[in-house]
Chain A
Amino acid sequence: MLTLNHIYVVAGIYLLYTARQGWRDRGNPKRMTTAAFWGLLGITFLFGDFIPAIYMGALVIVIGLLAAGGGLSTGSYPVVSQQAREEKAALLKGRLFIPALIIPVFTLLGTVVLKHVTISGHALIGSENTTVISLGLACIIAFVYALAMTRVKIADAIQSARSILDAIGWAAILPLLLAVLGGIFNKAGIGNVLAEVLTTALPLQYPWVAVLAYGLGMVTFAMIMGNAFAAFPVLTIGIALPVLVQQHGANPAPLAALGMLTGYCGTLMTPMAANYNIVPAALLELVNKNAVIRAQVMTALPLMACNLVLMYWLIFL
């Protein structure tokens, strides 16, 4: 059976290979620490399930400090001239799109179809995390197809990918660290404390104050934690359920949906949501790392206002 672990092994090997290339990159002023960062990250993918959690934790801190301490830098990468690229594109034309489309289409097929495929009684794909397994599988198929079609060498393709990885840098691990932080905050009981502070400090007997506290609380907490998922249990159990539903008789279904979607407006405005806001800036080679957030703020703020009005209206309908 194909499980998430197989995909992690592939990712681990890929990262170690990237680290090896980075180690030899004389154009990178911080080649040793950059290579160490990707190499250690590769080890967490390869051996994460074998290393005892406490040592994994220490390893994660080392990786984090390499990233936070300015240990990452970009280097020099073998490039293909614009003219050569144009010529090759003229030759391959629309076929170039095929591997790029294989990734989403096969991920989808895997999620919908492969989930139910069995070979002599054994499931082909593990029942958990089918999307991630399918994405990994789709990437491998697309990579093999792309190499065969373009005749680019594996090493060169990974060099080009390394230029993107180095540009992404610390943003690659931020979502993982935030997930860890969410767990620690949970154990430390921060949700309860925060909810208590809010409920004692604000005049929540007015429904509109409670709506604002819940909505803006979701936005703020989503900005702090980088996603609305972590904010939702805290504010829903802390404010929405006891105050809005039980005191003011709000309809719980629209309350939850609009609370979450108001939180999403916060996600659009925070560098903590690295996957959505910071990684794309690196992927698109933007000069300003916050350019994506800037492009989103003027959608997020009016939408947030919209959500608050909708919430106040729909939950008391």
Chain B
Amino acid sequence: MNYWPLLGVLIIVIGFMQRWNPVLVVILAGATAGVAAGMSPAQLLTETGEGFTKNRYLAIFILTLPVLGALERSGLREQAQRWISSKKTLTVGRLLTVYLAVRQMTSALGLMSLGGQAQTVRPLLAPMVEGSAQTEHGAIGPRVREHLRAFSAATDNVGLFFGEDIFIAFGAVLLMQGIYADNGIALEPMEIALWGIPTAIAAFLIHSFRIRRLARKLGQAVRQENSEMPGPC
């Protein structure tokens, strides 16, 4: 057996630790593994071209950006913040928890495209979370703002990841079924998808617990950051 292609994996691990640019790491790793496996440069280029062309759909989210551009120039984020500030009962904790639950449930029903980082987090969720924090605790500083935004993005990811696997027609479920079928184990997608439910519940409990902690410590974090900043002269 030819062990040399493992050098490709090694390059990724080293690149990780040395914090090289991931694009560079991936190109180096692919070239190394390919050459080690005896592929010619022409074969490697062909493989690269075919793979890239086939997977262009992964970048199609860029088409949402001009829509955001037009709306944000017209105050979409400001409107989101104003709307949320009129809903006093929607605190930061409740907003994020409700979003997590809805994202998980809709993903489990196959409605993955209802949310997303470009579609909902940037234009709607993040501004609402910030607006809600301001309604509760007054003006927030850049550090708290960054943390709230990162947490909004994280909540969307967690909700998506641990919801979609319950949906029977989801790619991952079909992949599992397909691989088992190739190896002589016949399973219905439903049999696999149902086993995603315990993890979905665990993910909701763990992440909503962290949201509660974030919300409880928010006031203190806001006050602390504001007191560090130089006062008005």
A contact residues vs B (CB 8 Å cutoff): 4, 7-8, 10-11, 14-15, 41, 44-45, 48-49, 51-61, 64-65, 67-70, 80, 82, 85-90, 92-94, 96-97, 99-100, 103-105, 107-108, 111, 129, 131-132, 134-136, 139-140, 142-143, 146-147, 150, 152, 154, 156-161, 164-165, 170, 172-185, 187-190, 192-194, 196-197, 223-224, 228-229, 232-233, 236-237, 241, 245, 252-254, 256-258, 260-261, 264, 267-268, 271-272, 274-277, 279-281, 283-288, 291-292, 294-296, 298-299, 302-303, 306-307, 310, 314
Q: Are B69 and A164 in contact (CB under 8 A)?
A: yes
**Cβ distance B134 to chain A, nearest Cβ, rounded Å:** 14
Q: Are A104 and B113 in contact (CB under 8 A)?
A: yes
Contacts A92-B75, A187-B39, A237-B179 known; 4 new A-B pairs at CB < 8 A? A157-B66, A181-B33, A190-B33, A310-B199
Which A-chain residue is minimally distant from B42 (CB atoms)? Answer: A54
Q: Are B183 and A241 in contact (CB under 8 A)?
A: yes
Indicate whether B203 reaches chain A with its CB closer than 8 angstroms. yes
Q: Are A100 and B67 in contact (CB under 8 A)?
A: yes
> In the bound complex, how far is the Cα of B158 from the Cα of A89, in angstroms?
31
> In the bound complex, how far is the Cα of B132 from the Cα of A113, in angstroms?
36
Q: Are A88 and B196 in contact (CB under 8 A)?
A: no
Selected contact of B82 from candidates A49, A89, A272, A275, CB within 8 Å:
A89
Residues 101-113 of chain B, each 1 if its beta carbon lies under 8 Å from chain A, else 0: 0000000000101
> In the bound complex, how far is the Cα of B117 from the Cα of A36, in angstroms?
26
Q: Are B158 and A268 in contact (CB under 8 A)?
A: yes
Indicate whether B225 reaches chain A with its CB closer than 8 angstroms. no
Which A-chain residue is minimally distant from B81 (CB atoms)? Answer: A89
Q: Are B117 and A280 in contact (CB under 8 A)?
A: yes
Which A-chain residue is minimally distant from B182 (CB atoms)? Answer: A237
A-B contact pairs, 9 of them (CB 8 A): A44-B56, A159-B69, A160-B72, A183-B50, A184-B39, A193-B2, A194-B9, A256-B192, A280-B156
> In the bound complex, how far is the Cα of B66 from the Cα of A25, in angstroms?
18
Also in contact, A256 and B180, with CB within 8 A (given A88-B74, A274-B22): yes
> In the bound complex, how far is the Cα of B165 from the Cα of A232, in angstroms?
14
Which A-chain residue is minimally distant from B29 (CB atoms)? Answer: A181
Main secondary structure of the interface of A (DSSP, over half): helix
Q: Are A193 and B75 in contact (CB under 8 A)?
A: no
> In the bound complex, how far is the Cα of B80 from the Cα of A131, in angstroms?
27
Main secondary structure of the interface of B (DSSP, over half): helix
In the complex, chain B residues whose CB is within 8 Å of the CB of A264: 161-162, 165
> In the bound complex, how far is the Cα of B119 from the Cα of A187, in angstroms?
36
**Cβ distance A222 to chain B, nearest Cβ, rounded Å:** 11
Indicate whether B157 reaches chain A with its CB closer than 8 angstroms. yes
In the complex, chain A residues whose CB is within 8 Å of the CB of B142: 287
Also in contact, A295 and B195, with CB within 8 A (given A14-B63, A96-B79, A260-B165): no
Selected contact of B154 from candidates A45, A187, A295, A306, CB within 8 Å:
A295
Q: Are B74 and A96 in contact (CB under 8 A)?
A: yes
- List which B115-153 residues lie within 8 A (CB) of chain A: 115-124, 126, 142, 146-147, 149-153
In the complex, chain B residues whose CB is within 8 Å of the CB of A59: 49
Q: Are B154 and A296 in contact (CB under 8 A)?
A: yes
In the complex, chain A residues whose CB is within 8 Å of the CB of B75: 85-90, 92, 96
Residues 165-192 of chain B, each 1 if its beta carbon lies under 8 Å from chain A, else 0: 1000001100110011001010100011
Q: Are B69 and A160 in contact (CB under 8 A)?
A: yes
Q: Are A179 and B49 in contact (CB under 8 A)?
A: no
